[in-house]
Chains A and B, each alone.
Chain A
Amino acid sequence: MTVTTERPAAARAAAPRPAPPARNDDVWSVVSTTSVMCCLVAGWMVAQMLYLGGLAQDRAQDALYADFRAELAAGTAPIGPVTEVGTPVATLSIPHIGVEQVVVEGTASGDLLTGPGHLRNTVLPGQRGTSAVFGRASTYGAPFARLGELEAGDQVNVVTAQGATRFEVIGVRRAGDPLPQPRPEDAARLVLVSGEAGGSRLPSLSPGEVVYVDAEADEAFDTPAGLPPVVPDPEQAMGTESGAVMPLLTLCLGLLLALTLGVIAARQRFGAALVWVVATPVVIAVAWLTTDVVMRLLPNLL
């Protein structure tokens, strides 16, 4: 969390301050500048997680839907057991809570930015066996925000390369609840997984606990053999990516720093208005990119 407080737009906050007249004022200007910077950084993060990320996710969903539609029509949509991470594998609709999403392969934090993700060591939804789909609860479109409102008997419709399956919800399950009864041999089971606030404070902002929705369909498609036995930690519930993201994050922060210095240098030669008109879109783009990278360091069901 502390990583988030030392970033974007230091330039925007720092640059416009005029030279302070006195030493006492010096301290106050530092406090002021820091506050503005913190406000901007945190505010931007919140804004992107809750609203701007939703825009990005919507756009990604459109693109995925177009892709998947074409693949279904061409008969080239994946049926497992091993699919490239990030490709669309199914569409998911839950009428009761208004979910209409394309499911992608992979459940790492980065994969879930574009839509609900399919856990790679489970069968695809609709195939014989138990399948798991993870989705974000609060950020980036929050596709599974209302998962806890589902009730037994609700429908979950899934379309994959093998055909359409209608699941019936068995129930919502939280920590401590008993697991559902063993799956009948020929049935397909779907477990939807997302986050949920543990207590009642800020229910839509603190999805710290994992909530499961079990759904079952009586008839199932055949399952191809060769599922991977395990997935790495980042792809499990509340997993976070770490190692691989760091170089990317360093690059983004480096870009921001370069941008700041660039703006300061430009201010010496050109007028403020001109510099800001040119720099603002670039700053926003880099800040956006950086936040996307930071998201990957946060739990995947957030």
Chain B
Amino acid sequence: MRRRARLLAAAAAALAVGLPALGASVEVAVAAPGDEPAYTETKHLSRTIMVQGQEIEIDSRDVTVTVDRTTELRGRERVDISWTGAHPTGGRSSSPFGEQGLLQEYPVVILQCRGLDDPSLPPAEQLSPETCWTSSRAQRTQVTDDTEAAWRHDKLATEEQRAQKYGLAPIPAECNDVANFSTHITPFRAADGTVYASCTSETMAPEAAVGAAFPPAEQAAFTDLEGNGHAKFEVRSDVENESLGCSEKVACSIVVIPIQGISCMDDDAACNRGGQYEPGASNYSNQGVDLTASPMLWWSPSNWNNRFSVPITFGLSPDACTVLDSRAPTGFYGSELMSQASLQWSPSFCLDKKRFKFQHNKMADAAGFALAENGGGAAAFVSGEHEVKGSDPMAYAPTAVTGFSIGYVIDKPGNAGEYTGLKLNARLLAKLMTQSYLGSELGRGHPGMESNPIGINLDPEFQKLNPGLDTITREAAATLLSLSESSDVIEALTSYIAQDAAAMAWVDGKPDPWGMKVNPSYKKIKLPTPEWPLLDDYVPVTNDECRQQNPTPYFTQLAAPVPSIRKIAEAILDAWPNVQTKCERSTVTDPWKIGRVDRQGVGSRFMLGVVSMGDAARLGLEQASLATRKGFVAPTAGGLVKALRLAEPSRSGEKPFTLDMAALVKADAYPGTMIVYTAARTANLPQEDADKVRQFIEVATTEGQKQGYGNGQLPPGYVPLTKTGVTAPLWKQAQAVAEAIGEQEGASTAGDESTDGDGDGSQTGTDGGDLGPASVSAVDGTDEVLAPVDGPGEEADADADGKGEDEGDKGDEADDAEQELVTMPPTTQVSSPVAARVLPTLVLVALISAIAANLVRLRHLRRRRS
């Protein structure tokens, strides 16, 4: 009797909260008719239970699910899913993902499944629970005592589904099944036809292995008290998840299942339960929940029949051009800011036989520029002017307007969801970049910054801008994940710091109003710089055995920059800081190793990184607003356009536009705005390459500027260049430069022999070794380089392949004489004035002083005689 009372109370409460939610949802639908979502559907869902042989409908609601994007998705892209009218969630767990989201009541389960929900299709192309991806065994297999097996009383299930054992017959031995328990297995059918029993962690598909490369994407998201909810859902293509196998050819769906509880066919207690938790209550301690209302039974017909199937299509995979086009690619080298655009552009080139096969190879801007300049590549993507080292003129065609941003994932305390609207200023960025936060008590011993905060969330300056965040100490909050390579992005970021008087005063040693001081290793560092150096070498003194065995500079481990912007974006997506301070060893006798820390748990995530706007838009990352003169500007199209108004064309019309950082900040434009140029030679570029570059610029600045997700279109995160409006000067320069590159009539400054020789020399040198002009030039700085001695050896090694084989049999003088000679660079001059003068000077001094001594002596003698 008591149970029934509780149940009825639960039903009444559910109705009470459900009704206003319905009203609200209608209003929302009316209020926002402008942006047409890609998918929206409303379903009437209800739950019935049996009380003393009588069927009672205890829950009935109209649920509407909306998805913002469903077509041309790419691997790891996140789509926004929102819903209204669902049953409020109780017993919320801190992380909704994978196995950690299972102990909740009435969540909304979101899964990615292979196949479409279309009965007219052949069975292999239809979706079913067996083609839905989950990352843990607990989501697929239930083994419980008969009295608790709620799914066996599902009104909508077939007789076989209600049997004691269901799913696999016979149940494989490796499942370790308990004979007298109820067992329900939902095996996973992979794209290649393999069936994974999925009853133990060993029998899961390989992508669901423990410690898999990607964290779980499927989730049991929560619905608030009004019945609304939203989630960002990450889709996986066959590149990330081969077993699931979604691609441009294999259709897939996102399946959204609002869990409403099992509709029961009889008076079973386990089935009829209404949940242990109040709506909105939390379940941080992972207590048990009522199985009938939990997401564990998402496959049970009562839940499964309530599904919303959202068909999705994938764009071409990144390697589509390699597979579909056998022509040799033409490499464009440089800026990673272009990567999302070139991902969509390249199929529009390689699939059109009239065009060439475009390939974007991402590397440091300066290295890409050097390649384009000396003939290693057709053109380069750069976002600033680079020094021309050879004799050929370079022209810059504006190709995309985008920028960098500070991506982040920060959870509000108390499981209140992700924090949005982060605000940062130049001094906070300077504090992060100069490694001036302590990270943990280990950093406290660093001389000169003992009283600095542990992390940015404990910095009063940050708290003033972003109130209401937690004050947990984390090492990840002491750093901004950044690039280890030289890049125009770092140049732009550091010039944002450099233009700010307060930030620079702080870098130069003046404590901020709260007494925080700059890390002495970075004090008075020269900004802006294209490559951020790791200068701190403080090794903490501690009794920790692991740290004693691995004495490494602590602040460098915290910063641990990575070579590509995409890696930073994915680290933020996974909330997996690149902080390298985790001590572990496989057994007690093994030596300690230091590695990357674990992924952060949902609910207390805190991580910042430098990302490109293209990546952030694709992966759905939050981006911080940066301080300008009057306020804070977010990386939106508006902020970028404001910046473009200030861009001044160069005098020659072929060089990059000038974007003065101080002017951007003054005009409240987004400071991270960057224009990416296609840079190529306008003289001495082989005509074939010149035509390709010209074609690329012309296509990219016309049809490539149409916004969209399809092949050849411009993805979000970029501002389109148009013939009219604020981007008109950029567009015009692009067309002019495309013509100049096509014609190849630029004035080459081919001068004296020595310049030519130098150019050749650096070219062979660069080709042979690793590309890193920045570091090479740093070494060149000293006078006594060994180039003349070392040069021949190394270049010989580099050229040996071509040269040595041609030579064939050695020794024959006539052959040697006839052989084509390689133009070699001249010997560099090494001279030492000291060596030239020390001996003559010494001889001179000896002679003069000898004569002087004798003269004085003579005079002395004469005077004495007189």
- Which residues of chain B (748-789) have a CB below 8 Å from chain A? 754, 757, 779, 782, 784-786, 788-789
Q: A144 interface residue, CB < 8 Å from B?
A: no
Q: A185 interface residue, CB < 8 Å from B?
A: yes
With A185-B800, A299-B835 as contacts: A179 and B791 at CB distance below 8 Å: yes
Partner of B784, one of A38, A238, A298: A238
Chain B contacts for A236, CB-based, 8 A: 784-786
Do B800 and A195 touch across chains, with their CB atoms under 8 A apart?
Answer: no
Do A1 and B837 touch across chains, with their CB atoms under 8 A apart?
Answer: yes
Chain B contacts for A130, CB-based, 8 A: 789-790, 792-794, 796
How many angstroms between the C-alpha atoms of A183 and B837 in the bound complex? 36
Chain A contacts for B811, CB-based, 8 A: 218
Partner of B800, one of A31, A50, A182, A239: A182
Chain B contacts for A124, CB-based, 8 A: none
**Most chain B beta carbons < 10 A, residue from A42, A119, A122:** A42
The segment out of B139-147, B402-410, B608-616, B839-847 that lies at the interface is B839-847
- Which residues of chain B (818-866) have a CB below 8 Å from chain A? 821-843, 845-846, 848-850, 852-853, 856-857, 859-860
CB distance from A183 to the nearest CB of B (A): 3
Chain B contacts for A239, CB-based, 8 A: 784
Q: A256 interface residue, CB < 8 Å from B?
A: no
Q: B799 interface residue, CB < 8 Å from A?
A: yes
**Most chain B beta carbons < 10 A, residue from A45, A185, A233, A302:** A185
CB distance from B154 to the nearest CB of A (A): 69
CB distance from A121 to the nearest CB of B (A): 8
Chain B contacts for A125, CB-based, 8 A: none
Do A298 and B788 touch across chains, with their CB atoms under 8 A apart?
Answer: no
Do B830 and A237 touch across chains, with their CB atoms under 8 A apart?
Answer: yes
Q: B803 interface residue, CB < 8 Å from A?
A: yes
Smallest CB gap from A49: residue in B: B839
The segment out of A90-98, A168-176, A263-271 that lies at the interface is A168-176
With A32-B853, A43-B850, A177-B827 as contacts: A189 and B835 at CB distance below 8 Å: no
- Which residues of chain A (184-204) have a CB below 8 Å from chain B? 184-186, 189, 191, 193, 195, 197-198, 201-202
Q: A88 interface residue, CB < 8 Å from B?
A: no
CB distance from A169 to the nearest CB of B (A): 14
Do B791 and A182 touch across chains, with their CB atoms under 8 A apart?
Answer: no
- Which residues of chain B (9-57) have a CB below 8 Å from chain A? none
With A46-B843, A175-B829, A218-B811 as contacts: A180 and B792 at CB distance below 8 Å: yes
Q: A57 interface residue, CB < 8 Å from B?
A: no
Do B849 and A38 touch across chains, with their CB atoms under 8 A apart?
Answer: yes
How many angstroms between the C-alpha atoms of A205 and B839 in the bound complex? 6
CB distance from B781 to the nearest CB of A (A): 11
Q: B795 interface residue, CB < 8 Å from A?
A: yes
CB distance from B293 to the nearest CB of A (A): 65
Chain A contacts for B828, CB-based, 8 A: 175
With A181-B822, A210-B788 as contacts: A42 and B830 at CB distance below 8 Å: no
Do A202 and B856 touch across chains, with their CB atoms under 8 A apart?
Answer: no
- Which residues of chain B (689-728) have a CB below 8 Å from chain A? none
Do B835 and A206 touch across chains, with their CB atoms under 8 A apart?
Answer: yes
Do A210 and B790 touch across chains, with their CB atoms under 8 A apart?
Answer: no
How many angstroms between the C-alpha atoms of A45 and B842 in the bound complex? 7
Q: B807 interface residue, CB < 8 Å from A?
A: yes
Secondary structure of the A contact surface, majority rule: loop
Partner of A46, one of B784, B785, B839, B860: B839
Q: B810 interface residue, CB < 8 Å from A?
A: yes
How many residues belonging to A are interface residues under a CB distance threshold of 8 Å?
A: 70
Chain A contacts for B789, CB-based, 8 A: 119, 122, 130, 132, 191, 193, 212, 237
Q: B804 interface residue, CB < 8 Å from A?
A: yes
CB distance from A80 to the nearest CB of B (A): 15
Partner of B842, one of A4, A34, A132, A230: A4
With A122-B789, A175-B828, A177-B826 as contacts: A184 and B842 at CB distance below 8 Å: no
Do A205 and B835 touch across chains, with their CB atoms under 8 A apart?
Answer: no
Q: A207 interface residue, CB < 8 Å from B?
A: yes
**Most chain B beta carbons < 10 A, residue from A38, A178, A179, A185:** A179
Chain A contacts for B797, CB-based, 8 A: 129, 183
Q: A61 interface residue, CB < 8 Å from B?
A: no
Chain B contacts for A181, CB-based, 8 A: 821-822, 824
Chain A contacts for B824, CB-based, 8 A: 178-182
Do B793 and A42 touch across chains, with their CB atoms under 8 A apart?
Answer: no
Smallest CB gap from B802: residue in A: A182
Q: A111 interface residue, CB < 8 Å from B?
A: no
Do B788 and A212 touch across chains, with their CB atoms under 8 A apart?
Answer: yes
Q: A139 interface residue, CB < 8 Å from B?
A: yes
Complex interface bits, A113-134 against B, C-beta within 8 A gives 1, otherwise 0: 0000001011000000110100
Do A182 and B792 touch across chains, with their CB atoms under 8 A apart?
Answer: yes
- Which residues of chain A (27-50) have a CB below 8 Å from chain B? 28, 31-32, 34-39, 42-43, 45-46, 49-50
Complex interface bits, A231-266 against B, C-beta within 8 A gives 1, otherwise 0: 101001111100000000000000000000000000
CB distance from A131 to the nearest CB of B (A): 8
Do A233 and B842 touch across chains, with their CB atoms under 8 A apart?
Answer: no
Do B836 and A178 touch across chains, with their CB atoms under 8 A apart?
Answer: no
Chain A contacts for B796, CB-based, 8 A: 130, 182-184, 189
Chain A contacts for B849, CB-based, 8 A: 34-39, 42
Do A238 and B825 touch across chains, with their CB atoms under 8 A apart?
Answer: no
With A39-B853, A236-B784 as contacts: A210 and B831 at CB distance below 8 Å: yes
How many angstroms between the C-alpha atoms of A184 and B799 in the bound complex? 9
Q: A280 interface residue, CB < 8 Å from B?
A: no
Q: A209 interface residue, CB < 8 Å from B?
A: yes
CB distance from B174 to the nearest CB of A (A): 48
How many angstroms between the C-alpha atoms of A239 and B786 in the bound complex? 11
Partner of B836, one of A119, A184, A208, A214: A208
How many angstroms between the C-alpha atoms of A302 and B833 in the bound complex? 11
Partner of A209, one of B823, B826, B831: B831
How many angstroms between the C-alpha atoms of A185 and B806 in the bound complex? 11
**Most chain B beta carbons < 10 A, residue from A119, A132, A202, A299:** A299
Q: A156 interface residue, CB < 8 Å from B?
A: no
CB distance from A174 to the nearest CB of B (A): 7
Do B827 and A122 touch across chains, with their CB atoms under 8 A apart?
Answer: no
Do A299 and B837 touch across chains, with their CB atoms under 8 A apart?
Answer: no
With A119-B786, A238-B835 as contacts: A205 and B804 at CB distance below 8 Å: no
How many angstroms between the C-alpha atoms of A193 and B791 in the bound complex? 14
Chain A contacts for B841, CB-based, 8 A: 1
**Most chain B beta carbons < 10 A, residue from A36, A231, A240:** A36
CB distance from B54 to the nearest CB of A (A): 85
Do A138 and B839 touch across chains, with their CB atoms under 8 A apart?
Answer: yes
How many angstroms between the C-alpha atoms of A170 and B231 in the bound complex? 74
- Which residues of chain A (260-302) have a CB below 8 Å from chain B? 298-299, 301-302
Smallest CB gap from B761: residue in A: A179
Partner of B856, one of A28, A121, A129, A205: A28
With A181-B822, A185-B800 as contacts: A238 and B832 at CB distance below 8 Å: yes
CB distance from A117 to the nearest CB of B (A): 13
**Most chain A beta carbons < 10 A, residue from B831, B834, B848:** B831
26 examples of A-B residue contacts, CB within 8 angstroms: A32-B853, A35-B849, A35-B852, A42-B843, A42-B849, A46-B839, A49-B839, A122-B793, A173-B827, A175-B826, A176-B826, A178-B827, A179-B791, A182-B803, A185-B800, A185-B804, A198-B831, A205-B839, A206-B839, A207-B836, A209-B829, A209-B830, A237-B788, A240-B834, A302-B832, A302-B838
Given A206-B836, A299-B834, output 13 extra A-B contacts at Cβ < 8 Å. Answer: A28-B860, A36-B849, A38-B846, A42-B843, A42-B849, A132-B790, A178-B757, A180-B792, A182-B800, A184-B800, A184-B803, A205-B840, A299-B832
Closest 6 CB pairs of A and B: A208-B836, A130-B793, A183-B796, A175-B829, A185-B804, A38-B849
